[in-house]
């Protein structure tokens, strides 16, 4: 499929010129960023990933016990690799991102900077009211930055674009789960990651074509083990390749670079700000947010059941607190339901080690 | 120095403080028999409404500090790791989580909670930690969400936190099946305010040369302002302690013999190594005259309005040291350097505490540039001794002190 090339290009961090992005670019690194608003302001929201290069300049700002995405993105910024950005936005999630926001602001390299300090709990009325206040303020900030007002109609259009993207991505996951192997694992990752980087209107169009083609495609006639990946950011094509090579297929995920980012749609029928509050508070929670005590465990079990998964691979990033705290409970919940899982700890900087492949291979052969 | 002289240097109130803490923990441990309810609460959480409802507050963080100081931290941290918790997580949380299961630590475990009160003004870790305990004990959890004030306190934040204080009270009324006691709240508020004022004055006595106390003493005397602020006990005790400090100043007694160098400490103490560190700095005639940690329990008193205590604590609890931007933290550090006339800064880069430690390097650069004083950063952990390399840290402290001496 030639459409895939565009996603691979974007996922491989080609420059904005190479990607034909001419709008002002606003970087972000968390799935709680209300991208619809940025898009409606006429900016291009681009998710930032670590380029996995050596940490040199960020060494002077963040200790080695900080997670690799945070150190890696700061390194990219300080080394000038992100000079194409016009600004960045930081929603409040974990402690590490909280401090990255301060350090980023204090090193002041770009035209724009915003903190979108969401509530940490998402299940009370006062939290939702506060969330709405924060969104309204962010909308005003964006209006000041782009110099025009963001009308409800424009915002509504952006919501439609994002809903299209989300529906198409969900459909791709669905088709791949129904016919494991119609997409190879690297392509699946590139599609999601690429969408977060490339122009969103282009993405919506291309995803549509991909879905059409996949609908017609015959799955390879080969038995596979059905695998779910769970964790925070999984930006490692190697992991997907290892799973595939060992006879597994990723049929779903619980990742913020995966279904947690795109699963829920925004209501197109109510006023756009309320609709966004509803979407961002009701979407699958990231562990840095509180939304009940068992939601993540319940969701994971349900995900396994609906996808008839054979096992779960936890990909946790080293030094990631929110996920580290949730892991024992998630594991216990899965054990109770006799769902097999394996824990892999990884660091953006050092990708595929032989040990990682051996672990995953053994797991897949065993289940 | 003779034994008499050494005794003279010791702070007399220390014994009383130990007794008060023992009584406090005994009362907490026997609360059930006395039909009292127990709330576990985070160190930065608003305890005053609990006292107004006659609920006994228990602080897992204070308990974890005791675990660290009594050198039981490694064992409990390892136990948590065996339960699946990564060794990179906060060691207070690790120690507490495993302690709840194995009933370890110096007290054989904390008394079980009837409710959990989590205020995330210090970190996101407590949110996760209290979720773990809420599942384990199956008790109600109240989260007081205090959005980070990166650059200021907005009207939206004020409204949100004030509303939640109302929800907090409703939560307590429901659990206690009794109406909230606003009269008692007023008394508790007054006592809390007075204790914070006294605590601030006590810490400020260290501006005197020689300093009558050091940050190591502050780490020790901190326990009351954390656990018993809002009670008469804390006010009375700190009154006495303040008098003792004033007396020491009048008599010219410094806590470090022949104090020559004044330093500031940043971040939590390294509990299992307190004595070692204190001796080490003393041997260089250096006094850690102040720290950014213990001052957090009086640092926002300027926002408290005694006549409108409940409303005003929304701002006071939200704008504490760890919940503001790194640039504002740097400003506070520099104010302390000036106020205490510190000639060097020791930063504990604490593997356990990310919100405290990330940003330290920027603060270090700002301080070096604007104040021109040397800064030493040592990497360790507040409870887990496995992150403390004695020989390496000793060498670095010695070298740092040489530099300080050459400059003085
Ligand atoms: S959630 Fe985890 S991996 Fe993501 S930025 Fe925070 S600590 Fe790092
Ligand atoms: S030490 Fe830091 S991370 Fe741990 S509970 Fe305290 S503030 Fe939170």
Q: Which of A105, A321, A345 sits opposite B124 (nearest CB)?
A: A321
Q: Each residue of A172-195: pLDDT tens digit?
A: 999 999 999 899 888 999 999 999
Which residue in this structure is represented by tokens 């206690």?
A: B176
Does position A360 have pLDDT exceeding 90, yes or no? yes
Q: How far apart are CA A311 and CA B393, in angstroms?
A: 45
Is the overall model pTM greater than 0.90, yes or no?
Answer: yes
pLDDT value, residue A350? 63
Average pLDDT over every residue of A233-243 = 87
- What percent of chain B is modeled with pLDDT above 70? 99
Does position A322 have pLDDT exceeding 90, yes or no? yes
Which residues, 6 or more positions from B241, have their beta carbon under 8 angstroms from its beta carbon?
A: B11, B13, B17, B198, B202, B221
pLDDT value, residue A223? 86
- Residue B241: both structure tokens together: 């302690």
Which one is predicted more confidently, B336 or A236?
Answer: B336
pLDDT value, residue B347? 98
Under a CB-based contact definition with an 8 Å cutoff, are residues B396 and B376 in contact? yes
Instruction: Sort out which chain A residues have CB atoms less than 8 A from B88's CB and list them.
Output: 65, 318-319, 321, 324
pLDDT value, residue A79? 96
**CB of A67 closer than 6 angstroms to any ligand 1 atom:** yes
Under a CB-based contact definition with an 8 Å cutoff, are residues A120 and A290 in contact? yes
Under a CB-based contact definition with an 8 Å cutoff, are residues B83 and B220 in contact? no
Q: Each residue of A89-110: pLDDT tens digit?
A: 999 999 999 999 999 999 989 9
Interface mutation vs chain B, best among A67, A90, A99, most B CBs within 10 Å: A99
The pLDDT mean for chain A works out to 94
With cut-offs at 50, 70 and 90, classify the pLDDT of residue B89. very high
Does position A349 have pLDDT exceeding 80, yes or no? no
Under a CB-based contact definition with an 8 Å cutoff, are residues A217 and A179 in contact? yes
**CB of B168 closer than 6 angstroms to any ligand 2 atom:** no
Which residue in this structure is represented by tokens 């619980």?
A: A254
Does position B151 have pLDDT exceeding 90, yes or no? yes
ipTM comes to 0.96
pLDDT value, residue B94? 98
Under a CB-based contact definition with an 8 Å cutoff, are residues A118 and A60 in contact? no
Q: Each residue of B200-233: pLDDT tens digit?
A: 999 999 999 999 999 999 999 999 999 999 999 9
Structural domains in chain B? 9-181 (3.40.50.11890), 184-407 (3.40.50.11900)
Instruction: Sort out which chain B residues have CB atoms less than 8 A from A293's CB and list them.
Output: 131, 134-135, 141
Interface mutation vs chain A, best among B97, B120, B126, B128, most A CBs within 10 Å: B128
Does position A352 have pLDDT exceeding 70, yes or no? no
φ, ψ for residue B394, nearest 5 deg: -60, -45
pLDDT value, residue A346? 84
Lowest mean pLDDT among A168-182, A346-360, B163-177, B290-304: A346-360
Q: What separation in Å is there between the alpha carbon of B92 and the centre of ligand 2? A: 7
Does position A220 have pLDDT exceeding 90, yes or no? no
Lowest mean pLDDT among A223-237, B223-237, B260-274: A223-237
Does position B131 have pLDDT exceeding 90, yes or no? yes
Best mutation site among A261, A315, A321 for ligand 1, i.e. most ligand atoms within 8 A of its Cβ?
A321
């Amino acid at each position: 499929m030639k459409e895939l090339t565009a996603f691979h290009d974007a996922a491989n961090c080609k420059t904005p010129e190479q990607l034909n992005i001419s709008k002002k670019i606003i970087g972000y690194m968390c799935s709680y960023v209300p991208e619809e608003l940025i898009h409606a302001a006429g900016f291009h929201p681009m998710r930032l990933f670590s380029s996995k290069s050596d940490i040199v300049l960020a060494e002077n700002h963040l200790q080695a016990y900080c997670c690799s995405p945070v150190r890696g993105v700061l390194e990219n910024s300080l080394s000038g690799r992100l000079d194409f950005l016009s600004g960045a936005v930081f929603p409040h999630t974990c402690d590490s991102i909280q401090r990255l926001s301060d350090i980023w602001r204090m090193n002041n390299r770009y035209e724009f900077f915003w903190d979108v300090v969401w509530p940490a709990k998402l299940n009370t009325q006062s939290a939702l009211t506060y969330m709405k206040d924060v969104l309204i303020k962010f909308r005003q900030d964006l209006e000041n930055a782009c110099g025009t007002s963001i009308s409800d109609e424009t915002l509504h259009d952006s919501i439609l674009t994002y809903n299209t993207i989300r529906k198409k991505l969900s459909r791709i996951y669905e088709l791949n789960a129904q016919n494991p192997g119609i997409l190879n694992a690297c392509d699946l990752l590139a599609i999601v990651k690429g969408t977060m980087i490339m122009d969103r209107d282009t993405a919506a169009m291309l995803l549509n074509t991909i879905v059409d083609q996949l609908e017609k495609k015959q799955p390879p006639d080969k038995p596979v083990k059905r695998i779910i990946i769970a964790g925070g950011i999984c930006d490692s094509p190697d992991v997907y390749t290892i799973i595939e090579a060992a006879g597994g297929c990723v049929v779903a995920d619980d990742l913020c670079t995966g279904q947690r980012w795109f699963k829920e749609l925004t209501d197109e029928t109510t006023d756009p700000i309320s609709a966004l509050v509803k979407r961002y508070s009701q979407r699958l929670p990231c562990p840095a947010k509180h939304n009940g005590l068992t939601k993540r465990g319940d969701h994971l079990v349900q995900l396994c059941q609906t996808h008839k998964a054979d096992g779960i691979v936890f990909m946790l990033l080293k030094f990631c607190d929110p996920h580290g705290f949730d892991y024992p409970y998630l594991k216990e919940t899965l054990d109770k339901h006799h769902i097999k899982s394996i824990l892999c700890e990884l660091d953006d900087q050092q990708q595929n080690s032989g040990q990682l492949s051996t672990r995953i291979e053994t797991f897949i052969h065993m289940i | 120095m003779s034994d008499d002289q050494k005794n003279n240097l010791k702070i007399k109130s220390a014994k009383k403080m130990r007794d008060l803490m023992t009584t406090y923990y005994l009362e907490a441990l026997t609360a059930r028999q006395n039909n009292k309810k127990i709330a576990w609460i985070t160190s930065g959480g608003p305890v005053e409404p609990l006292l107004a409802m006659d609920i006994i507050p228990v602080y897992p963080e204070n308990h974890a500090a005791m675990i660290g100081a009594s050198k039981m931290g490694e064992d409990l941290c390892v136990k948590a790791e065996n339960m699946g918790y990564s060794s990179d997580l906060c060691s207070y949380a690790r120690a507490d989580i495993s302690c709840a299961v194995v009933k370890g630590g110096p007290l054989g475990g904390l008394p079980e909670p009837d409710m959990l009160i989590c205020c995330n003004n210090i970190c996101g870790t407590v949110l996760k930690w209290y979720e773990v305990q809420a599942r384990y004990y199956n008790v109600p959890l109240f989260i007081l969400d205090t959005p980070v004030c990166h650059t200021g306190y907005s009207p939206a934040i004020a409204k949100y936190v004030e509303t939640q204080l109302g929800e907090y009270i409703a939560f307590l009324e429901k659990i206690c099946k009794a109406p909230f006691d606003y009269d008692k709240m007023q008394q508790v508020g007054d006592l809390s305010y007075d204790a914070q004022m006294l605590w601030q004055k006590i810490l400020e006595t260290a501006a005197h040369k020689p300093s009558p106390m050091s940050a190591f003493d502050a780490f020790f005397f901190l326990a009351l302002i954390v656990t018993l602020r809002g009670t008469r006990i804390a006010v009375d005790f700190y009154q006495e302690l303040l008098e003792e400090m004033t007396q020491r100043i009048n008599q010219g007694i410094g806590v470090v013999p022949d104090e020559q160098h004044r330093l500031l400490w940043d971040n939590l103490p390294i509990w299992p190594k307190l004595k070692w560190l204190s001796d080490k700095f003393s041997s260089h005639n250096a006094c850690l005259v102040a720290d950014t940690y213990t001052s957090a329990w009086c640092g926002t008193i300027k926002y408290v309005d005694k006549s409108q205590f409940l409303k005003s604590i929304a701002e006071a609890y939200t704008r504490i040291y760890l919940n503001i931007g790194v640039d504002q933290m740097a400003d506070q550090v520099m104010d302390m350097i000036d106020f205490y006339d510190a000639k060097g800064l020791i930063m504990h880069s604490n593997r356990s505490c990310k919100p405290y430690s990330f940003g330290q390097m920027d603060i270090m650069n700002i301080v070096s540039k604007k104040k021109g004083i040397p800064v030493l950063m040592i990497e360790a952990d507040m409870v887990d001794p496995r992150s403390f390399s004695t020989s390496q840290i000793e060498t670095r402290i010695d070298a740092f002190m040489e530099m300080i001496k050459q400059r003085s």
